[in-house]
Amino acid sequence: MAGIESPHLLAGTGAPRGVTVLGSTGSIGCSTVDLLERNRGAFRVEALTGNRNVELLAKQAIDLGAKLAVVADEGLYGQLKDLLAGTSVEAAAGDQAVIDAAARPGGDIVVASIVGTAGLRPTLAAVRRGALVALANKETLVSAGAVMTREVEQGRATLIPVDSEHSAIFQVFEFDRADAVSKVTLTASGGPFREKSLDEMAAMTPAQAVAHPNWSMGAKISVDSATMMNKGLELIEAFHLFPVDEPDIEILVHPQSVIHSMVSYVDGSVLAQLGSPDMRTPIAYALAWPKRMPAPSQPLSLADIGTLTFEAPDTVRFPALRLARESLIAGGGAPTVLNAANEVCVAAFLEGRIGFLDIARTVERVLEDGPVGALGSLDDVFAIDADARVRAELLIARS
Ligand code: NDP
Ligand code: MG
């Protein structure tokens, strides 16, 4: 049994909450900025960070009156400074500056929406000072697993999931009666290739893979949705977020993306959270928690939708689902390897260096090839992650 037993409650003072957005220029970041713009009185913006999109970063920071804007790419510091000249927004650059931004005490809430393992150190900086972390960056929990949840407990931080499935579970999970939970069901849209054969998938291009039917997202998670590795990562994420055992986490394909996930109880009750597929709902939930705030998502009209359908996932066409579950069962550094190899393979696919089916194939080979150590410390995480990346790159280079 893993997961955080119960969230700590923040003392609500009624004063505007300070918010730092890590990865404000991305898909989740922009949705967060949209909510902050619509609810200006409720929040003050401490810091925003981006990687390369310096124009958007500067625009967001000026518009929201942020104290600090940080660009991770140090080469863009001069440009950021110029864009912020004459404003009260401070500029900084570099990976350490992103970590420092997360560590600033003015960010009561830190929205962790950097993509990939790059988000690990900044998220940890927020966790260690006991911030409320609105966690979108699932790779962090997959890669660092129990190390991360231990840091959350030690830092007395609060982790509120932003991933829509985990937000749904969080909203209907009775933490004080966790022993009455019999099952958690993660719903999956099935992605753009849900009905494609393996032969058809073999020929799919990056443009086809990122064209998700229901959600508008960044490139990496869109490819993860197409391989269904996204749901595999979410399985591991759920294991760490909630007090449930691996066999009690089920995946169910639900193409309409209306039911965002469900929790089954021993008495036969099943509680679900529903809504239009718009990430501003789970982000708003995390920003306002333990209260609620308005979000501009399309109101859900079940009468218009008419039919909700469900199917069992196909682990033959989508082997990433199997690999993720096997990694979770294997434990130790296996999920770290899975995540690192997947990041390398998705990047290679987006660059046209490997085919779509090579993603899961290569991840499987990296998992099979290498010894996977225990995951006792953060140093273990970084060492296992780095080793898996090298092995994945070698396999790609040889293919
Ligand atoms: P995007 O690719 O749209 O955005 C990623 C953000 O991270 C950008 O702000 C980018 O900066 C920044 N970034 C990228 N690399 C680095 C780096 N090395 N150092 C610092 N910052 C970096 O991703 P999404 O918004 O789609 O996803 C973000 C996270 O949220 C992922 O972990 C994803 O799995 C998760 N998530 C996303 C959902 C969605 O609907 N999009 C749903 C559920 C979870 P820049 O753009 O300036 O280069
Ligand atoms: Mg999700």
Most informative mutation of 30, 32, 221, 281 for ligand 1 (most atoms within 8 A of CB): 221
Q: What is the pLDDT of residue 2?
A: 55
Determine the distance separating the centroid of ligand 2 and the alpha carbon of 203, expressed in angstroms: 25
Determine the distance separating the centroid of ligand 2 and the alpha carbon of 105, expressed in angstroms: 29
Residues 125 and 264 in one domain: no
Residues 308 and 215 in one domain: yes
- For the stretch 26-53, pLDDT in tens is 999 999 999 999 999 999 999 999 999 9
Q: Does the Cβ of 283 fall within 6 Å of ligand 1?
A: no
Q: What is the pLDDT of residue 212?
A: 83
Q: In this structure, is residue 246 part of a structural domain?
A: yes
Q: Phi/psi zone of residue 12: left (φ > 0), alpha (ψ -120 to 50 degrees), beta?
A: beta
Expressed as residue numbers, the domain containing 303 is 167-398
Q: Does the Cβ of 257 fall within 6 Å of ligand 1?
A: no
Q: What is the pLDDT of residue 6?
A: 41
Helix axes 164-172, 280-288, angle to 10 degrees: 50
Counting every residue, how long is the chain? 399
Determine the distance separating the centroid of ligand 2 and the alpha carbon of 73, expressed in angstroms: 28
The number of distinct structural domains making up the chain is 2
Of 89, 120, 137, the one marking the end of a domain is 137
Q: What is the pLDDT of residue 165?
A: 98
Token readout for 196 is: 């494609």
Q: Does the Cβ of 338 fall within 6 Å of ligand 1?
A: no
Residue 69 is part of a domain; what is its CATH number?
3.40.50.720
Which atom from ligand 1 is nearest to the alpha carbon of 98? 20
Let me know how many helices (H) and strands (E) the chain has, helices first: 17, 11
Q: Does the Cβ of 72 fall within 6 Å of ligand 1?
A: yes
Q: Does the Cβ of 139 fall within 6 Å of ligand 1?
A: yes
Q: What is the pLDDT of residue 72?
A: 98
Residues 117 and 211 in one domain: no
Determine the distance separating the centroid of ligand 2 and the alpha carbon of 11, expressed in angstroms: 29
DSSP 8-state class, residue 295: -
- CA torsion, points 144, 147, 148, 151, in degrees to nearest 10? -160
Low-confidence ranges of the chain (pLDDT < 50): 5-12
Residues 176 and 131 in one domain: no
Q: What is the pLDDT of residue 372?
A: 78
Ligand approaching nearest to the C-alpha of 217 = 1
Q: What is the pLDDT of residue 13?
A: 55
Q: What is the pLDDT of residue 5?
A: 45
Residues 206 and 96 in one domain: no
Q: What is the pLDDT of residue 230?
A: 98
Q: Does the Cβ of 233 fall within 6 Å of ligand 1?
A: no
Helix (H, G, I), strand (E, B) or coil at 17: strand
Ligand approaching nearest to the C-alpha of 279 = 1
Residues 94 and 242 in one domain: no
Token readout for 195 is: 């009905």
pTM: 0.96
C-alpha 258/C-alpha 327 separation (Å) is 29
- Beta-bridge mates of residue 71: 50, 93
Helix (H, G, I), strand (E, B) or coil at 103: helix
Token readout for 59 is: 């625009």
